[in-house]
Structure 1
Amino acid sequence: MFLASQRPLRRRPLLALPALLAAGWGTAHAGSPDDQLLIGMSMNNLLSLDPAAATGLDAATVACNLYDSLLEVEAADATRLRPSLAQSWSVGEGGRRITLNLRADVRFASGRPLTAAHAAWSLHRVLKLNLALASVWKSYGFTAANAATHIRAEDAQKMVLDLPQPTDPTLVLMTLATSMSGYVIDREAVLAHEQRGDLGNAWLTTHAAGSGAFELEEWRPKELLTMRRAAHHWQPAAKLRRVVFRHMTESQTLRLMLMRGDLDVAGGMSAPDVRALAKRPDLVVEEVRRATMYYVAVNARHPRYADERVRRAVLRHLIDFQGVASGVLPFYGELQMRPVPPGLPASLPQPDYRFDPAAARKLLAEAGLPEGFDTTIRVVAEAPFTGIATSLQATLAQGGIRASILPGTGNQVYGSMRERSFEIVVGRGGGGAEAHPHSSLRALVYNPDNRDSARLSNFQGWRTGYADAALNGLIERALLTPDAAAQADLYRQAQQRFDAQVGAIQPIAQMLDTQVLRRAVRGYHGHPSGATRLREVDKEGR
């Protein structure tokens, strides 16, 4: 099904043992303790634990174990909602009202009972702070001004969301289940640490106030984060006493630690190291599809790329899709050339885009560019982005396009997209974790206002400067169509329209998150939204 795919596979290269000793690891092989899970991963992007502010997979991996959400989605099937804090829910009033009935036996780590008032306040807080995770709620019509009337607790266990504008309520339910913004916070604990009206944001950056299966024990940024089993949780107690996250960015270090038995789980490794570890009988490799896409984007506001013939030459005929997928993206991504991922009713078969320099040269000549032109490729300076950019530079040259690669940080590369000041970008983006076609189309191709002054930088369609009124209309109609079959047909039409018009952003592959685990670890299931809950994880022989 969409996003979730776990199967044995493999992934990065080898630091010397002295570096491990410098990091504080002993020379004797001891292995990880039986009652603890040791996870090695990069925590470079773990900047906050505040559910209203935290973004990215690193934060999701940690926060989902410190907090509970109202709903969850299945790890093995991201289209299926299941109860969590809300034991039941219903949709009424013509799809404009969502009612959630919360459990009565939940307590925060403080011991304070969790109520519907806490759940409603947590969403009010997201909108009032207006940080990154407020965007999706604002797209549904919620604002800081209307939050109190549209998101409310009717009693201790009943929470109601009245949708301010027509939308698909299933999409809203999926956001509650997959976004960190839907985590329920201990209001009293947070407001006790409020500073200058920040609703506890500064404190929650490095602390937690949740009801999760684990409690935050210690966090030393870019070094170590530990969680201990919660003293009281409404579900059966976590099987392991402690979880330890170690900040480790060198693939070869992770490889050695796994081989020594000093790590139980490792992520962010290179393909050569994953391949090597996959041959070991004591290790297992797991891949999980994420919602985001690797892509090549061009700036349709640039006079050259405003010409559909130039976009077609570059994005359809001068990308070696199959070569990139097989040579650059193993363990990073799977070939995917449509904006809607596979596994949904609205998904379409892959198009037959093929590397064809002759066809590209013909199109460029028709566009008045028989000698080609010079351009730039902006790219995040890390794998696999640089590999994609290098391949693209070589294939563009065969079509007569001379491209210079401009590597940079994520802020530099995506900042140029937000300012619409780029020519070509190799990047990664897409929808949230909701297994819904609107999630991807909204993020990648929808652009309701193409004016520079609109500043719709959360829409990657706006960033590329590509807008098509008919395409926007199909997406908007689909969202409001209650009949599932008719809705899926409209989303398919939107993809076909995007294909025919040669939109300015071309997906190449769907992201894969690859983890290497010790075979003794049981119950670990990587989650497509990044919310890999560890309460059921155990070790063989305990």
Structure 2
Amino acid sequence: MNTGTPFGAWILALLLTVSGGAVQAKTPPDQLLIGMNMNNLLTLDPAAMTGNDIVGIVVNLYDPLIELDPQELTNVRPALATSWEVNDARNLITFHLREGVTFHSGNPVTADDVVWSMRRILHLNLAQASVWKSYGFTKKNVDEMVRTPSPGIVEIQLPKPNDPKLVIYSLAALGSVVALDRKTVQAHEVNGDWGNRWLTTNEAGSGPFRLDSWQAKDVLNMSRNPQYWRGEPKLSRVVFRHFQESQTLRLMIEKGDLDIANNMAVSDVTALSHDPAMAVDTVKKGTIYYVAMSMKEPHFANPKVREAVRYLIDYQGIGKALMNGYGIVHQRPIQVGMPATLPDPGYTLDIPRAKTLLAEAGYPDGFDTTLRVLADQPFLNIAIAVQSTLMQAGIRAKIVTGTGNQIYGAMRERKFDMLVGRGGSGVEPHPHSSLRALVYNPDNNDAARLTNFQGWRTGFYDKQLNTDIDQAL
């Protein structure tokens, strides 16, 4: 894969929770206090969301049509839709909606709301539109392809040949195709923005929790929805608090001032894992930590330079020292355990080989570049490690840190050199999920705005590979 070098694949998302023992959480038993770095929590609009942090919030504010069974991801379970079927031609999926569900406003959840919510994704053309555009949906055809022929029925017609099972997985897994309260959102529409500005800091869902307040980089409060169709949630309140430093999270959870701490540094997790009052949970995901290179930048447009960078990463060293519990070394785009996953190519840190490749590319003395990275762990430590080994072959990478909008925003605008990031989807239990997110790029023009595809962000375009991915469906 020429877009970047994945090294921490199959992410293990760390959650540190207070259990029974010497340390008891001081929060009320019916409330949950979660500590996390909220720098990358940029919007609450499901159509615009990117990254893992927002997904856990959106799925508690909204309801999808269907959902994946967390214990067996290949099983799809009913949610707002009680049943669904695919026609014999395999180009039409019909959903039958649950009756009696209401939004937080009290308005009923209707098929019109669901259809409008999906159309909205394509019309806004924000981050979550990329997936649906890859299936052939466009701003021009979505009103025809996504429809409600009668009350309580939602039909999704596939614009081009696709595996309907994969489309069903995407509907169940992404969190973007959720039911929005159309009346409430339209009441806050400004200049045809489909309510995007308002939904950045508000919600219009039917999920188990309501949004009470959100102060960016500070605190987000949710309270339970007593009319939730699955039954009233046991927790009365969930609070997300922003903490910049992992050591602060560690101190807070040691004192019992937090119930859960998300994404702490490996050193702090290791120390707390020896405390019998703590429970460390790891959750397997299909996303990948990667080093991306922009092929719009002349140095990285040269395949020999990209090959050299592959030999300038200490995969094993990073894996052992910085990624313990967060991920394992995996150098293929398809997540571990999926069909079609090939053996790793076996890239290792090899400075002499990298220098030879750089000389062949016309850069015997290396070159200057920038390496963008979130100012969070483990990203920053990974970038520092990569910077060090790049320097050994003469690539002088200046680290540029920032928030998610500053780092990934530049990537979405295709205005970066190198970047340490995390992505790759992997949420659907299907190889296409990883390929689509990491290498697929059907339209390399800037105007295409396939901003959720790493292939488009990096300018990587391989016509034959795109064709192979399409035909595999």
* Structure-1-length-normalised TM-score: 0.76
Instruction: Give the structure 1 partner of residue 235 of structure 2.
Output: 240
Instruction: Give the structure 2 partner of residue 251 of structure 1.
Output: 246
Instruction: Give the structure 2 partner of residue 134 of structure 1.
Output: 129
The number of aligned residues is 457
Return the letter of the residue paired with 1:207.
N
SS of residue in 2 equivalent to 1:240: coil
**Per-residue CA distance 1:423-448 (angstroms, 9 max, x = gap):** 44333332363232222222222233
Q: Which moved more, 1:193-202 or 1:108-117?
A: 193-202
Instruction: Give the structure 2 partner of residue 328 of structure 1.
Output: 322
Instruction: Give the structure 2 partner of residue 173 of structure 1.
Output: 168
Partners of 1:251 and 1:470 lie apart in 2 by 44
Instruction: Give the structure 2 partner of residue 443 of structure 1.
Output: 437
SS of residue in 1 equivalent to 2:74: coil
Answer yes or no: is the 8 Å Cα contact 1:379–1:386 preserved in 2: no
Instruction: Give the structure 2 partner of residue 88 of structure 1.
Output: 83
Q: Which moved more, 1:338-347 or 1:119-128?
A: 119-128
Partners of 2:417 and 2:12 lie apart in 1 by 34
Partners of 2:30 and 2:298 lie apart in 1 by 61
Quick check: 1:472 aligned with 2:447?
no
Instruction: Give the structure 2 partner of residue 346 of structure 1.
Output: 340
Quick check: 1:69 aligned with 2:35?
no
Answer yes or no: is the 8 Å Cα contact 2:444–2:456 preserved in 1: yes
Answer yes or no: is the 8 Å Cα contact 1:3–1:78 preserved in 2: no
Partners of 1:159 and 1:110 lie apart in 2 by 22
Answer yes or no: is the 8 Å Cα contact 1:299–1:424 preserved in 2: yes
Return the letter of the residue paired with 2:420.
V
Answer yes or no: is the 8 Å Cα contact 2:12–2:327 preserved in 1: no
Evaluate the alpha carbon distance shift between residue 264 and residue 408 of structure 1 in structure 2; reply closer, same or farther with a 3 A threshold.
Answer: closer
User: How far apart are residue 478 of structure 1 and its match?
Assistant: 0.8
Instruction: Give the structure 2 partner of residue 408 of structure 1.
Output: 401
Quick check: 1:395 aligned with 2:419?
no
1:231 to 218, 223, 226: 226
Partners of 1:221 and 1:125 lie apart in 2 by 25
User: How far apart are residue 183 of structure 1 and its match?
Assistant: 0.9
2:30 to 35, 38, 44: 35
Partners of 2:323 and 2:349 lie apart in 1 by 17
**Per-residue CA distance 1:105-144 (angstroms, 9 max, x = gap):** 3222233322222211211222223322222222222233
Partners of 1:79 and 1:308 lie apart in 2 by 37
Return the letter of the residue paired with 2:306.
R
Percent identity, aligned pairs only, is: 50
User: How far apart are residue 225 of structure 1 and its match?
Assistant: 2.2
Evaluate the alpha carbon distance shift between residue 412 and residue 107 of structure 1 in structure 2; reply closer, same or farther with a 3 A threshold.
Answer: closer
Quick check: 1:426 aligned with 2:412?
no
Instruction: Give the structure 2 partner of residue 78 of structure 1.
Output: 73
SS of residue in 1 equivalent to 2:420: strand
User: How far apart are residue 311 of structure 1 and its match?
Assistant: 2.9
Q: Which runs of 5+ in 1 are unaligned?
A: 11-28, 480-542
User: How far apart are residue 337 of structure 1 and its match?
Assistant: 0.7
Partners of 1:238 and 1:305 lie apart in 2 by 51
Return the letter of the residue paired with 2:469.
I
Q: Which runs of 5+ in 2 are unaligned?
A: 1-8, 18-23
User: How far apart are residue 396 of structure 1 and its match?
Assistant: 3.3
Partners of 1:235 and 1:172 lie apart in 2 by 25
Evaluate the alpha carbon distance shift between residue 86 and residue 148 of structure 1 in structure 2; reply closer, same or farther with a 3 A threshold.
Answer: same
Evaluate the alpha carbon distance shift between residue 166 and residue 362 of structure 1 in structure 2; reply closer, same or farther with a 3 A threshold.
Answer: same
Answer yes or no: is the 8 Å Cα contact 1:3–1:288 preserved in 2: no
Instruction: Give the structure 2 partner of residue 50 of structure 1.
Output: 45
Instruction: Give the structure 1 partner of residue 6 of structure 2.
Output: none
User: How far apart are residue 474 of structure 1 and its match?
Assistant: 1.4
Answer yes or no: is the 8 Å Cα contact 1:46–1:58 preserved in 2: yes
> Whose radius of gyration is greater, 1 or 2?
1
Partners of 1:86 and 1:314 lie apart in 2 by 47
Evaluate the alpha carbon distance shift between residue 86 and residue 377 of structure 1 in structure 2; reply closer, same or farther with a 3 A threshold.
Answer: same
Quick check: 1:186 aligned with 2:178?
no
Q: Which moved more, 1:446-455 or 1:214-223?
A: 446-455
Evaluate the alpha carbon distance shift between residue 71 and residue 194 of structure 1 in structure 2; reply closer, same or farther with a 3 A threshold.
Answer: same
Partners of 1:460 and 1:208 lie apart in 2 by 28
* Structure-2-length-normalised TM-score: 0.87
- Alignment RMSD: 2.9
